[in-house]
Structure 1
């Protein structure tokens, strides 16, 4: 939330979050990232959570310490200002000295941004002199800030032994291994949502019309929060070194030939030029039709909020009219946040193929073109739920509860999505089987159940498949209910996944170990506990079609409740 919404902005909003939602949803990714990846820098935000500023809440830092965090904390651009600025921020305290003290108590080591006008720069010295700020907190913040600079070798003199960071040459920029890593990541993210009538892949060497928003933009495929990418005067942002989707479709298409005649690639990237787009579509054998929310006014971004889940009327009008032409068409989505496709698109009889390319990065245009022409077989799965555009009218977005309205995410959403979490198709086909569907029992957190899933490429080309493992509570504490007392019903929860590449006709056994502690549930106080209960373990290749799931019952047969992780830091 960037701009004013009923008096709320990102600078003054107070998010009211239950202990259950904090533990089950909002804190869980942070805990996993800190424990498994050991990050050394975290940024706190402007807003408050349950009545306390995020940059000035000692309990937030205590939680981080409990997880083993040893890095520094920086504010968003002078978030400490919001703590005392009652006009722009939430005015939690009255003075800049008090705000500085509170930020330091919350372990905000660096108050970033605004230079000489930052809150620390203006009020730290006087706050110490006036006894408002504890000098020990200042020393601690200074230590944490400079510790990271020391580790980076920023104070190593020329005569001392330089560390590895100071010996990195500019030759590594755009080195081949980096290019291939970026390209491979883009290839892996290509997510085929629909391919009725096997429209894709296209044949090279034909007349292809590339039409739509972002189809000829290098900037849009990078995302909407990037700095200078290509060399330019005075550090001006330029993107002319980034190939566009049109560039790469043209390059690959015109490598193919038909009757010794090279392919032809047409471009219409002005969404208001409907007549030219229809003319190009009528000339074409195939149409690549882009839909994009890369522009901040549509898709949101720094200083911009999203007002809906769809795109502007000009794009929708163009897309529908081009689809009406009836040529074999692949809709290519360029998006960060989800675009709803229910505004007359998904229902259109000619919307047979949909490829979600996301914002695929510097070499993403090549990955898109390779996928359209079959040089890359898509294997991505939806990491989010695609809601209908009407969803925005069913949920109060100032209500942070994951269960508000029809619910948020695949874990709580009770409605019918356009495309669900985990969905994604391929140009080949797969089957999945299990050795045994007999029930398994665990008695304590360290117990485990081992499952062997055989996955086979039953098609005619090399391809990737992702097998996901979910648990779904069915009985809790001997009762036919799917949740602990006072907590919402959890639809299902992802606990593991594996992605594999299989040649045609080949198979691989994937072994999944489901441990007792993974079956812990969050109680209403935010504690993760393991107690007598029953679950379905769901092995899935996607949730959009029947026959893509295997269910196995599993029981937790314990006479006592095991406390897996207590929630000890409630501050409200």
Structure 2
């Protein structure tokens, strides 16, 4: 049963006329609003942030956002008071405390009705939630972390996952998802590496855009974050300042966001906490207005990261107080303040009334949000909170979801080195009688999940609630995979800390076994409550805690040791790679991760994941990412005592079958600066098993105005091949794909020689050629070609091909 939501009669609501364009309807509503009502649309309220749940002792309360406890005290007002003039957003109704679907729907209905019935115009609030590893709520599917999406090199699969996430969110009334993260990894020590898709702008752009398309196909707005520069903080420290010139920002950081807007029509952008060269993103009109709106034509909303507006005063100190911060943020281009209203509150209202802040800025921001509310159907005459959610039973961890999570996990596991032991099962393998399973990631399924997965994000505050979903740990998954072999499990040590009391039992188990499988790596958390995740930055790239010592002692037993790294960032493995009987990398593979890893270990699955980041040899942060000019690469050996050569390069990943890439064909050896050429190669499965390979195209600008990367990923295609089958892969490369930011900061296509490199990783590129770009320097903009289309043509009748970007 619904109630009257406004004192305004239906004849006085022309904005509810669905025959009018969205912009016109939004304008009609804006004209009907008082200044207080317009400004209220720019704010939000987070009821779950009050931390008033009686089940949670104050000393056990853990923040899920930076300085959450501080702002909970300073900004908390009742929802009724916060929305007496209306409200822009409801914050994290589903993601703040563990709620069943029934409880969540009831709470959502309650909050909606408070907003609707307490304000004059009865404009509904938009509901947003986190969704990076799936819908961040109790009992919802936990998919692999974003760094694992990168390992799949499979945009189509990521799009299907995002569509499933979007359908679940839409079914329970969520309108906007705060994903994907389009930050490009610049320092592996940064805690949020797990939330990124990788270290290459094209890979991040292609998979991030696929996520946007998938989520928005379900009617849920995607939010690109963090705009921009957050991942390049000094020393990888969360919220650290960013020492970056404008050219690097334009060539490495911004293209991922630009592509998601140009190719996927992303509906929202979230600002970064960081300052770049001293200018905080949340107060940067060049970034948020000139580039985003003017150059790129973005028409959606810019929402603040949580408390990024008051941070302009308290952290960046470019504003005197949160009122001043609100004025700066509004002028720069932030439209909606999340998660609570501080900077866009009563103080800003007084500044607008006094004329210090133009009301046009308020109108500009409110107009953008109201257009989205029209597009979401919130301003339709028949919209009610009850009608906006599914009327049937909602299963947030359905069998279909789990199958999709398993597919992603399986495609993301990376074989670094098969060594002498992998695969564990096969006709040429001796039967395993006794297997020691050791390590902190073997028995705890939470290690499979990222910091924005609900079990790691919120449930540490509720230790009696379990995980909310069924997740098999690595030990049980491997036991199921190996059948009759006896498995002996010893943890050995925790992920973090210096407790070595479990070493002896673990070493004894390994010594008495035919084989030892050691699962080491991370446990994600927030703000120091984990080894990976937001605010969990690393001093160096050693495995956390005493795990490296445990591995050394296991390797000393003489028993073959297969090392499985389950982590959110790459760790330095140079001390172990030559001694291990097998080496596998699994980037936080989600709730189906145990089964996926076990399948790769046994050989039931042929691994096909590829590294979206490099694996360092040394713990001291070497190397940087693969995007390096000559002086930052292994080619500079001899000029520094630090070796920049990685242990395993970007794009690398092994298999249990073999592939050959050859027969390079270039459609032209010279093309104009506005022309196009094709690059074709043939890939053949020369092994005995069906498998997938990812063919990668890199370009190298031989001579340029500025120092350019030695290799830059420009196209890729995932191909599935039966034994003996072959496929021709043709990349369509427009000259725009060679564009870069010149000395004068214009993006140009420059004439000159271009080296074309094709292979299976950034270091294995057997096919090489030269194409000359001819003509005059050409300046390009947002309308340039941003993707490299790929054609797959099977040669053998039993070949199949999927993917490609």
> 1:291 — aligned with what?
520
Q: Is the 8 A contact 2:665 2:681 kept in 1?
A: no
SS of residue matched to 2:444: coil
Residue 121 in 1 paired to residue 345 in 2? yes
Give the 5 Å matches for 1:474-513: 474=702, 482-484=703-705, 487-513=706-732
Q: Is the 8 A contact 1:100 1:133 kept in 2?
A: no
Q: Is the 8 A contact 2:660 2:685 kept in 1?
A: yes
Partners of 1:187 and 1:7 in 2: CA distance: 33
Equivalent in 185, 196, 208 of residue 435 of structure 2: 208
Partners of 1:293 and 1:270 in 2: CA distance: 15
> 1:268 — aligned with what?
490
Give the 5 Å matches for 1:551-562: 551-558=768-775, 560-562=776-778
Q: 1:43 to 1:287 in 2, by over 3 A?
A: same
Name the stretch that deviates more: 146-155 or 493-502.
146-155
Deviations 1:184-239 (A, max 9, x none): 11111111111123532445864222111211112110112322489989976632
Q: 1:151 to 1:566 in 2, by over 3 A?
A: closer
Residue 55 in 1 paired to residue 55 in 2? no
Q: CA deviation at 1:155?
A: 5.6
Partners of 1:394 and 1:500 in 2: CA distance: 30
SS of residue matched to 2:573: coil
Partners of 2:330 and 2:236 in 1: CA distance: 26
Q: CA deviation at 1:30?
A: 1.3
Q: Is the 8 A contact 2:524 2:531 kept in 1?
A: yes
Residue 40 in 1 paired to residue 267 in 2? yes
> 1:79 — aligned with what?
308
Equivalent in 168, 177, 182 of residue 405 of structure 2: 182
TM-score normalized with structure 1 length: 0.84
Partners of 1:159 and 1:102 in 2: CA distance: 35
Give the 5 Å matches for 1:298-317: 299-317=531-549
Deviations 1:234-293 (A, max 9, x none): 976632622111121122222xxxxxxx22222112423111112221232222111203
Deviations 1:489-546 (A, max 9, x none): 321111000001101111111111222221223312332212220011000112455x
> 1:257 — aligned with what?
none
Q: Is the 8 A contact 2:449 2:591 kept in 1?
A: yes
Partners of 2:408 and 2:698 in 1: CA distance: 25
Give the 5 Å matches for 1:326-341: 326-341=558-573
Partners of 1:371 and 1:168 in 2: CA distance: 41
Q: Is the 8 A contact 1:101 1:134 kept in 2?
A: no
Partners of 2:534 and 2:667 in 1: CA distance: 51
> 1:430 — aligned with what?
659
Q: CA deviation at 1:90?
A: 1.7
Q: 1:147 to 1:565 in 2, by over 3 A?
A: closer
Deviations 1:359-413 (A, max 9, x none): 0011111111111111111111111122233543898x9xxx97798369x9xx9
Q: Is the 8 A contact 1:199 1:328 kept in 2?
A: no
Give the 5 Å matches for 1:356-375: 356-375=585-604
> 2:323 — aligned with what?
97
Q: 1:269 to 1:132 in 2, by over 3 A?
A: farther
Equivalent in 434, 442, 459 of residue 687 of structure 2: 459
> 1:514 — aligned with what?
733
Name the stretch that deviates more: 413-422 or 99-108.
413-422
SS of residue matched to 1:167: coil
Partners of 2:516 and 2:236 in 1: CA distance: 43
Q: 1:238 to 1:404 in 2, by over 3 A?
A: farther
Q: 1:293 to 1:403 in 2, by over 3 A?
A: farther
Q: CA deviation at 1:143?
A: 3.0
Deviations 1:399-454 (A, max 9, x none): xx97798369x9xx982111110111100001111154696111132x22223211
Q: CA deviation at 1:336?
A: 1.1
TM-score normalized with structure 2 length: 0.61
Partners of 1:220 and 1:355 in 2: CA distance: 15
> 1:219 — aligned with what?
446
User: What count of residue pairs does the alignment treat as equivalent?
Assistant: 529
Q: Is the 8 A contact 2:422 2:603 kept in 1?
A: no
Q: CA deviation at 1:312?
A: 3.4
Q: CA deviation at 1:50?
A: 3.0
Q: Is the 8 A contact 2:238 2:535 kept in 1?
A: no
Q: CA deviation at 1:84?
A: 2.2
Residue 533 in 1 paired to residue 752 in 2? yes
Give the 5 Å matches for 1:133-152: 133-152=357-376
Q: Is the 8 A contact 1:24 1:526 kept in 2?
A: no
Q: CA deviation at 1:180?
A: 1.3
Unaligned runs of 5+ in 2: 1-189, 193-232, 494-499, 637-641, 784-805
Equivalent in 325, 333, 342 of residue 107 of structure 1: 333
Partners of 2:432 and 2:371 in 1: CA distance: 58
Q: Is the 8 A contact 1:308 1:389 kept in 2?
A: no
SS of residue matched to 1:466: strand
SS of residue matched to 1:246: helix
Q: Is the 8 A contact 2:671 2:677 kept in 1?
A: yes
Q: 1:152 to 1:285 in 2, by over 3 A?
A: farther
> Which structure has greater strand proportion?
1
Equivalent in 681, 688, 698 of residue 470 of structure 1: 698
Q: CA deviation at 1:295?
A: 4.6
Partners of 1:28 and 1:106 in 2: CA distance: 21
Q: Is the 8 A contact 2:673 2:777 kept in 1?
A: no
Give the 5 Å matches for 1:337-416: 337-342=569-574, 344-347=575-578, 349=579, 351-392=580-621, 406=632, 415-416=644-645
SS of residue matched to 2:344: helix
Equivalent in 417, 420, 428 of residue 197 of structure 1: 420
Q: CA deviation at 1:469?
A: 0.2
Q: CA deviation at 1:170?
A: 4.3
Partners of 1:168 and 1:402 in 2: CA distance: 53
> Which structure has greater helix proportion?
2
Q: 1:233 to 1:314 in 2, by over 3 A?
A: closer
Q: 1:283 to 1:151 in 2, by over 3 A?
A: farther
Q: Is the 8 A contact 1:439 1:552 kept in 2?
A: no
Alignment root-mean-square deviation, CA: 3.4
Q: 1:435 to 1:420 in 2, by over 3 A?
A: closer
Partners of 2:667 and 2:457 in 1: CA distance: 58
Q: 1:537 to 1:370 in 2, by over 3 A?
A: same
